Amino acid sequence: MPFPDRSQEDTVLWKHSPAYQLLHTTSERDKQKASSSGKPPTTWRKIWKLKAPSKIKHFCWKLYSDCLPNASNLRKRGVLSQRGCPLCRAKEEDSTHTFQRCPFTSETLTRQQLKSFPYQFACMQDLVEFSFDNLEKDQLTKWVITMWDVWRQRNLALREEPIRQPEETATFALNFMSRMANAAFVANQPFSIIENG
């Protein structure tokens, strides 16, 4: 057997098949989608740039991804759930019900005088994208905080704990935004030490 010529650098040659090409293309596409599950990156950036606490941004991301643990999603995951909406006792609870059709949510949004949406959305992704594209900055923040609080009230009702009424839930978002603004104002004030003389 002859020895290879040492003056040339080794190279690897591999003729790939069409199946390999398909696998490689699919793999590259999956890598690009990994962090966003195929969602448009602009919406993700908008969610994370919200002027709200991280827990509310995280909630908004879950709302957009429709992965909140409502009765419908729990059934899809194989968790037995026979319950309906804990807020209005409707037989079926899914995200579109909780955040659009539930009378509790509708009354809360009406009391806030938020811009009404022209139609019901079939999925949460469309609802969140529409909200981000069509609501003014303050209205959007108020809407996201309200949806977060509706979800909190829903969870309290599920555990059979006392909940706020829609009118109280409507004012909660305004009070929460006011507290956030005050905290931001105080955080930007220069720190001074007062000496006792």
Tell me if 11 is assigned to some domain.
no
Whether residue 8 has pLDDT greater than 90: no
Tell me if 142 is assigned to some domain.
yes
Q: What is the mean pLDDT of residues 8-12?
A: 66
Q: Count other C-beta atoms under 10 Å from residue 12's C-beta.
A: 4
Express each pLDDT in 77-130 by its tens digit: 998 777 899 999 999 999 999 999 999 999 999 998 876 677 789 999 999 999
Are the CB atoms for 47 and 72 separated by under 8 Å?
no
Angle CA 172–173–175, to nearest 5 = 65
Express each pLDDT in 48-57 by its tens digit: 999 899 999 9
Tell me if 82 is assigned to some domain.
no
Tell me if 188 is assigned to some domain.
no
pLDDT of residue 19: 54
Task: Report phi then psi at 138, rounded to 5.
Answer: -65, -40
Express each pLDDT in 130-177 by its tens digit: 999 999 999 999 999 999 999 999 999 999 999 999 999 999 999 999
Tell me if 178 is assigned to some domain.
yes
Q: Which domain holds residue 48?
A: 40-77+91-182
Tell me if 22 is assigned to some domain.
no
Tell me if 30 is assigned to some domain.
no
Tell me if 54 is assigned to some domain.
yes
Structural domain count, the chain: 1
